[in-house]
């Protein structure tokens, strides 16, 4: 079992189903993985928009009602349900009602919605079994983080996993939230010198608390190198309970190459020797670690175990399984294409406003196609990847290189930063089936992110057009044979527990 034992010691899963935003790692997927004894992870990115769009599509069923009934502040539930229900929207072909973009102003209703949405996602993932559940967030996205973490903790989340930035401040925040303390964090802003006053993000958990303390989830930092892993362990504000070491072949965002960026003929970043992970350094850090990126067959699990890993984190293989949140026609297109090994994945250095490389699969009708991209009118109305900046008058502004170019330039942004930028917020919402409807009934179009090894999914598929999360687990599990490498102790313990 992977649940806490009487002594408080928890055995570790050999498999982490990676957090995949937006809403690809939904509660259905996480529940299926947790139920099977491994670590199921929900994505917390954009969770309040996902929640209110689901409400507007589907209303409230009995399972959701039970979770809502258990939320400690019923007035929050009542207010949210009154605003976001199918009748207020007026019909499935009309635009979704939107939530205001978050700012540093610490608006109570925005924080309440975040807490509720994250609570619901984790509570649904945890319902009906005794397995462990984690939540994944991107460090780059700052403002929603603390209320989202708190909502997850209210629902008893077991793990928090964060990368896409260096989350050194998060472990201490988890300690504070577990003690029911007010959390204040400085908003990191472009162009602000250290001595300059920056606004504090403030979250007060006390209005939700019926008990004095909450369980502190384990914190796993997602890193790309042993150097970052070392920095994380040294500089962290609280306990780091483990590391996920992710190679740049993984789906989603990747770390940029160390040093100056150079690209190949197709524009993919070139990684070199400095990007190689030194696993002996990792082993010496004394915390469990999981290997991520390209784990598409049992041999890769075996290799990871031989390096001393406790296990692996897997994204791409889970992204297309029956339970994932990927919109079903897109899922079908990818599953057909992998049979002929024809999914082409590019590492784009321009698509993401974060500035990090981002994997884009070439799928017809998505924003990976130049003409589809070219036809979209720019609009920024979700704003998760906006950066805060200091205006000339000293006040705080927000901008995103994917917003309308003239607006971005007016805010002091650079023209070159806008080239080929994709509005990942709207596109990834569409990928999960929650694309906004614009004028004349047109929907926002999706983008599919996937690992470099996507075509290797064919090995697991064996000609099928549908498979389940448990198929991924069963398939990879055969790589868990005892290894003679430095990992035998870890591999033995985790394999013996859950295999």
Ligand X SMILES: Cc1cc2nc3c(=O)[nH]c(=O)nc-3n(C[C@H](O)[C@H](O)[C@H](O)COP(=O)(O)O)c2cc1C
Can you give the binding site for ligand X, defined by CB under 6 A?
18-21, 24, 43, 45, 136, 138, 163-164, 222, 246, 249-252, 292-295, 313-316, 319, 449-451, 453
User: CB of residue 363 vs ligand X: minimum separation in angstroms?
Assistant: 12
User: CB of residue 343 vs ligand X: minimum separation in angstroms?
Assistant: 12
User: CB of residue 47 vs ligand X: minimum separation in angstroms?
Assistant: 11
User: CB of residue 29 vs ligand X: minimum separation in angstroms?
Assistant: 11
**What is residue 289's three-state secondary structure?**
strand
User: CB of residue 293 vs ligand X: minimum separation in angstroms?
Assistant: 4
**Nearer of residues 214 and 245 to ligand X, judged by Cβ:** 245
**Nearer of residues 26 and 418 to ligand X, judged by Cβ:** 26
**Nearer of residues 136 and 225 to ligand X, judged by Cβ:** 136
35 Ramachandran zone, left/alpha/beta (phi>0; psi -120 to 50) = alpha
**What is residue 431's three-state secondary structure?**
helix
385's tokens? 């990847």
User: CB of residue 209 vs ligand X: minimum separation in angstroms?
Assistant: 28
- 6-11 contact pairs (CB < 8 A, 24+): 10/132, 10/158, 10/218, 11/493, 11/494, 11/497, 11/498
Q: How far apart, in whole angstroms, are the C-alpha atoms of residue 74 and residue 89?
A: 23
DSSP letter (8 states) at residue 54: H
| Placement of tokens 């057009």 in the chain | 465
- Does residue 82 have a cis peptide bond before it, meaning omega lies within 30 degrees of 0? no
Q: How far apart, in whole angstroms, are the C-alpha atoms of residue 401 and residue 185?
A: 25
User: CB of residue 362 vs ligand X: minimum separation in angstroms?
Assistant: 15
**Nearer of residues 453 and 473 to ligand X, judged by Cβ:** 453
Q: How far apart, in whole angstroms, are the C-alpha atoms of residue 22 and residue 428?
A: 6
Closest CB to ligand X belongs to which residue? 315
**Nearer of residues 116 and 291 to ligand X, judged by Cβ:** 291
**Nearer of residues 67 and 295 to ligand X, judged by Cβ:** 295
Residue 161 and residue 16 in contact, taking contact as beta carbons nearer than 8 Å: yes
Backbone angles phi, psi at 286, to 5 degrees: 80, 15
Q: Report the run of H or E that residue 360 belongs to, with start and end.
A: strand 358-361
Q: How far apart, in whole angstroms, are the C-alpha atoms of residue 151 and residue 80?
A: 15
* Closest CA relative to residue 292, chosen from 165, 161, 169, 170: 161
Q: How far apart, in whole angstroms, are the C-alpha atoms of residue 38 and residue 32?
A: 9
**Nearer of residues 80 and 363 to ligand X, judged by Cβ:** 363
Beta strands in 62-129 (DSSP E): none
User: CB of residue 312 vs ligand X: minimum separation in angstroms?
Assistant: 8
Q: How far apart, in whole angstroms, are the C-alpha atoms of residue 153 and residue 216?
A: 7
30's tokens? 């996480």
User: CB of residue 45 vs ligand X: minimum separation in angstroms?
Assistant: 5
**Nearer of residues 176 and 450 to ligand X, judged by Cβ:** 450
**Nearer of residues 80 and 476 to ligand X, judged by Cβ:** 476
**Nearer of residues 147 and 252 to ligand X, judged by Cβ:** 252
Q: How far apart, in whole angstroms, are the C-alpha atoms of residue 317 and residue 194?
A: 43
User: CB of residue 194 vs ligand X: minimum separation in angstroms?
Assistant: 28
Angle formed by the axes of helices 47-58 and 108-126, nearest 10°: 70
**Nearer of residues 68 and 430 to ligand X, judged by Cβ:** 430
User: CB of residue 62 vs ligand X: minimum separation in angstroms?
Assistant: 30
* Closest CA relative to residue 30, chosen from 17, 20, 21: 17
**Nearer of residues 34 and 136 to ligand X, judged by Cβ:** 136
Q: How far apart, in whole angstroms, are the C-alpha atoms of residue 252 and residue 137?
A: 13
Q: b/e string for 4-17 if b means 16 or more Cβ within 10 A?
A: eeeeeebbbbbbbb
DSSP-assigned beta bridge partners for residue 162: 137, 221
């Amino acid at each position: 079992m992977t649940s806490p034992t009487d002594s408080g010691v928890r055995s570790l899963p050999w498999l982490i189903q990676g957090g995949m935003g937006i809403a690809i790692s939904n509660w259905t997927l996480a529940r299926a993985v947790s139920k099977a004894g491994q670590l199921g992870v929900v994505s917390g990115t954009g969770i309040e928009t996902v929640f209110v769009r689901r409400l507007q599509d589907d209303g409230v069923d009995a399972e959701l009602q039970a979770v809502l009934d258990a939320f400690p502040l019923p007035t929050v539930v009542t207010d949210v349900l009154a605003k976001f229900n199918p009748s207020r929207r007026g019909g499935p072909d009309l635009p979704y009602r939107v939530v205001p973009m978050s700012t540093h102003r610490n608006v109570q209703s925005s924080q309440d919605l975040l807490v509720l949405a994250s609570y619901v996602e984790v509570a649904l993932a945890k319902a009906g079994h005794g397995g462990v559940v984690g939540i994944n967030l991107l460090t780059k996205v700052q403002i929603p983080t603390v209320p989202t973490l708190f909502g997850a903790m209210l629902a008893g989340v077991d793990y928090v996993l964060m990368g896409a930035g260096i989350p050194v401040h998060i472990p201490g925040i988890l300690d504070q939230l577990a003690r029911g303390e007010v959390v204040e964090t400085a908003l990191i802003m472009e162009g602000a010198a250290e001595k300059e006053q920056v606004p504090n993000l403030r979250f007060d958990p006390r209005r939700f608390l019926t008990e004095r303390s909450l369980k502190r989830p384990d914190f796993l930092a997602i890193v790309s190198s042993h150097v970052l892993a070392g920095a994380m362990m040294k500089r962290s504000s609280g306990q780091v309970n483990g590391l996920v070491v992710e190679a740049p072949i993984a789906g989603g965002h990747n770390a940029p190459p160390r040093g100056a960026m150079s690209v190949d003929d197709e524009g993919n970043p070139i990684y070199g020797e400095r990007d190689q992970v030194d696993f002996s350094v990792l082993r010496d850090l004394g915390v469990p670690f999981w290997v991520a990126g390209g784990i598409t067959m049992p041999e890769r699990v075996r290799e990871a175990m031989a390096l001393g890993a406790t296990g692996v984190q897997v994204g791409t293989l889970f992204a297309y399984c029956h339970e994932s949140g990927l919109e079903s026609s897109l899922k079908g297109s990818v599953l057909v294409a992998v049979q002929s090994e024809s999914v082409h994945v590019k590492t784009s250095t321009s698509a993401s406003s974060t500035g990090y490389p981002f994997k884009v699969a070439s799928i017809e009708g998505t924003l990976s196609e130049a003409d589809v991209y070219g036809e979209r009118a720019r609009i920024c109305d979700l704003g998760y990847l906006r950066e805060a900046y200091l205006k000339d008058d000293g006040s705080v502004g927000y901008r995103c290189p994917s917003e309308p170019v003239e607006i971005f330039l007016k805010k002091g942004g650079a023209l070159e930063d806008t080239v080929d930028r994709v509005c990942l917020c709207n596109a990834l919402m569409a990928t999960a089936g929650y694309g906004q409807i614009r004028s004349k009934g047109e929907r926002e179009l999706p983008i599919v992110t996937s690992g470099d090894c996507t075509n290797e999914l064919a090995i697991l598929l064996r000609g099928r057009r549908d498979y389940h999360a448990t198929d991924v687990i069963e398939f990879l599990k055969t790589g868990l044979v005892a290894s003679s490498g430095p990992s035998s102790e870890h591999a033995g313990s985790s394999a013996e527990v859950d295999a």
